[in-house]
Structure 1
Amino acid sequence: MATIKDVALQAGVSVTTVSHVVNTTRHVSTAVRERVELAIRELGYVPSAVARSLKSNTTRTLGMLIPNSSNPYFAEIVHAVEARCFAAGYTLILCNTDDAPARQSVYLKVLAERRIDGLIVVSTGDDDALVAQLHGLQMPAVLLDREIDDPGCDLVETAHKDGALLAMQHLLALGHRRIACIGGPAHVIAGELRVQGWRQALANAGVLPEGDALLWRGGFTSQGGHEAMRAILSSPGARPSAVFACNDLMAMGALRAAHEVGLRVPDDLSVVGFDDIELCAYTSPPLTTVAQPKARIGALAVDMLLERVSGQRHQPHQMVLPAELRVRASTAPPFALSPTLALDPVPLLRQP
């Protein structure tokens, strides 16, 4: 592998001159610059990013932690973040924490060792040590989608509770009154805000839920949504005429469970999701859902982070973006409800 000394020897200049050409730190005559650039091309010389970062105290690299790389919602967010980074001349290092606090902690240390300039974090939502760890990194950080109790970080997210209210108001306007909710893990604030929206909408409509008898947990996965929907349909009492799932993957699992027992969506059961991932338009039927502005969220996260990295802004800032309802074919007015269905027993996921 060619070194800077090899380039200097072939171009007939000093190592210092090659460094000035590579780093544009001092004026070099056109003729000398062209000789150096020709030597770099012929030798295939690649400047050391580590050495350049030590001199400039910047790597033009950002880090990002996401909790689940298999969730299309996060994949679409990452796509927007990476595009914005590339346009700004930055490289993105992506780490998947798999919703594990210990793994999150390890990746934070790894990214700090890489001397990244800033960090975008979608937290696991269940790590009390995260705030202290972020402060210890001494670098700008932006929280995305999931809040943590740290007033020093920037934040960009959707108005989760308001989005849930939109979904519920849609179902209530169609005439549904017995509406179940499939929530995510109780420790994730974003998911709990959506559950709060479900509760508030029912209370506003004077439809008092039976405690949390209509609340089930699906873990933000398709399998979890499928199991929760099976449990809902096999529970005693009248079945709901509609289900609000707190993310699209759980809604898709619910669609599959309804199909397996012969329920027609939306004739027998209406289903609403949350996120509006691209796949929603291709489910059968296409899924009504609450849309998060994913492209704008990703772009804003990068812009806010670069403002802090460049020193343009020092005070933390929070951006809460509005959600929108996307009405598709998975919702309709309720038909006459049939009694509970006879299903094989499934693990109960209801919250105590």
Structure 2
Amino acid sequence: MATMKEVAHRAGVSVTTVSHVLNGTRHVSDDARNRIEQAIRELSYVPSAVARSLKHNVTHTIGMMIPNSSNPYFAEILRVIEARCFDAGYNVILCNSDDNPHKQSVYLRVLTERRIDGLIVVTSGEDAGLPALLTDLHLPMVLVDREMDNIHCDLVEVSHIQGGYLATQHLLTLGHRHIACISGPSEISPSDQRIAGWQLAMGEAGIEPADDALWRSDFTSRGGYQAMHALLRQPQPPSAVFVCNDLMAIGAMCAAYELGIRVPDQLSIIGFDDIDLASFSSPPLTTVSQPKERIGAIAVDMLLEHIQGRRDEPRRIVLQPELRFRSSTAPFAPPGTPARRSKTTLNNR
């Protein structure tokens, strides 16, 4: 691999002059610049990004931490973030914590060693030392999707309570009264907030959910599958289930199918997130849509404002979810009566 010294020798100039051309730090005559650029092409010289970052204290690199790379919701947000960063001249280094707080802490230290300019984080559950660790990084930072106490930085998320409320209201409007909820782990803030929305809508309808109407899982399709198996084996199974993310909802539909329960004729299921796959499940999944493109774009824009010194004070942006009405929910039909299927429209795909 060619060095800057070899470029300087080929062009007949000093190493300092080559450096000025590469970094734009001083005027260099057109003749010298042309010789340097020709030498760079002939030697296939590639400037060291590490050396340049040490000189300017800028790497044009963003770190991103997500809790589960197999969840399409995070993949879809990451795609938006990567594209927006690329357009702004920044690269993205991705770390997947697997919802493991220890792994998360290790990767955060690795990212800082890479001299990133800023950080976008979706946290992995409760970690008592995480707020202090993030504060000690002294980096521009944006939290996405999951709130965290005792941290002074930007946040962008959807209103999870409103989303849970919308999902449950939809089922209530269809005439369901025995509505169960399959949620995520208790240490993750969206789990409890979506449950709160379910409870709020049920309370407004004058319904007190039974203790066995709420099940905790892990936001995976296998977790939804196992929780739905348990729900449907109860003496009085629900007529509808609000499942707190789409992956679990797809697993839940699989469990219903195995047990010979037709969705939505005998059981209505609604999810949360509106991942691309939700439109192509069987039946297509009614769900609460998160504005993923806006979330990703806002996260990048807020981070770049801090990196580029255009803003200091943190902001909290909460976006509103929307209902995507498809074919996995239908009006309540008492056992033994023909079910009335809900109509679904193509624009909800």
Alignment TM-score, normalising by the size of structure 1: 0.94
Quote the RMSD (CA, aligned, Å): 1.0
Select the structure with the greater relative contact order (CA < 8 A; seq sep ≥ 6): 1
1:72 to 2:78 alignment: no
> Does the 8 A contact of 1:241 with 1:337 survive in 2?
no
Q: 1:330 is matched by which residue type in structure 2?
A: S
1:250 to 2:211 alignment: no
> Does the 8 A contact of 1:125 with 1:148 survive in 2?
no
1:306 to 2:304 alignment: yes
Q: 1:18 is matched by which residue type in structure 2?
A: V
- Aligned equivalents of 1:267 and 1:171: distance in 2? 13
Q: 2:216 is matched by which residue type in structure 1?
A: R
> Does the 8 A contact of 2:135 with 2:151 survive in 1?
no
Give 1:142 deviation, angstroms.
0.6
Alignment TM-score, normalising by the size of structure 2: 0.95
State the partner residue of 2:141: 141
Deviations 1:257-291 (A, max 9, x none): 01111111111110000000000000000000001
Deviations 1:117-165 (A, max 9, x none): 1111100121111100011111111100011103411100001110111
Q: 2:313 is matched by which residue type in structure 1?
A: Q
Aligned partner of residue 213 in structure 1, secondary structure: helix
Question: Which stretches of structure 1, 4 residues or more, deviate above 6 A after TM superposition?
Answer: none
Unaligned runs of at least 5 residues, structure 2: 337-349
Superposed counterparts of 1:157-306, under 5 Å: 157-210=157-210, 212-236=211-235, 238-306=236-304
- Aligned equivalents of 1:337 and 1:38: distance in 2? 81
Give 1:30 deviation, angstroms.
2.6
Aligned partner of residue 199 in structure 1, secondary structure: helix
Instruction: Call closer, same or farther: CA 1:151–1:126 in 2, change over 3 Å.
Output: closer
- Aligned equivalents of 2:26 and 2:190: distance in 1? 50
1:330 to 2:342 alignment: no
Give 1:310 deviation, angstroms.
1.1
Aligned partner of residue 40 in structure 1, secondary structure: helix
Give 1:337 deviation, angstroms.
3.0
Give 1:21 deviation, angstroms.
1.2
> Does the 8 A contact of 2:66 with 2:97 survive in 1?
yes
Identity percentage of aligned residues: 63
> Does the 8 A contact of 2:181 with 2:215 survive in 1?
yes
Unaligned runs of at least 5 residues, structure 1: 339-352
Q: 1:29 is matched by which residue type in structure 2?
A: S
Give 1:28 deviation, angstroms.
2.0
> Does the 8 A contact of 1:151 with 1:316 survive in 2?
no
Q: 2:200 is matched by which residue type in structure 1?
A: Q
State the partner residue of 1:81: 81
- Aligned equivalents of 2:9 and 2:90: distance in 1? 31
> Does the 8 A contact of 1:8 with 1:15 survive in 2?
yes
Q: 2:256 is matched by which residue type in structure 1?
A: A
